[in-house]
Amino acid sequence: MKCPACGNELTGIDVGEITVDACRNGCGGIWFDQLELNRLDEQHETAGESLLDIERDPAVELDRERRRKCPSCEDMVLLRHFFSPLKMAEVDECPGCAGVWLDVGELALIRSQFATKEEREKAAEEYFDDLFGEELDKMAEEGEERLRKARKFANSLKFICPSYYIPGKQEWGAF
The secondary structure of the chain in percent helix, strand, coil, rounded to multiples of 5, reads 35, 15, 50
Closest CA to 80 of 113, 106, 54, 50: 106
Q: Which stretch binds Zn ion (CB under 5 A): 2-10, 50-58, 85-93, 102-110?
A: 2-10
CB 99, min distance to Zn ion, A:
5
If we measure between CA atoms, which residue out of 106, 105, 111, 104 comes closest to residue 89? Answer: 106
Three-class secondary structure of residue 69 per DSSP: strand
- Residue 99 near residue 93, CB atoms below 8 Å: yes
Is 73 near Zn ion (CB under 5 A)? Answer: yes
Q: Looking at 20, 70, 89, 154, which residue binds Zn ion (CB under 5 A)?
A: 70
Of positions 20, 22, 94, 160, contacts Zn ion by CB under 5 A: 94
Secondary structure class of 83 (helix, strand, coil)? coil
Is there binding between residue 26 and Zn ion (CB under 5 A)?
Answer: yes
**Segment interacting with Zn ion, rule: CB under 5 A, options 24-32, 83-91, 117-125, 154-162:** 24-32
Among 6, 15, 20, 107, binds Zn ion (CB under 5 A): 6
Binding site for Zn ion (CB under 5 A): 3, 5-6, 8, 23, 26-27, 70, 72-73, 76, 94, 96-97
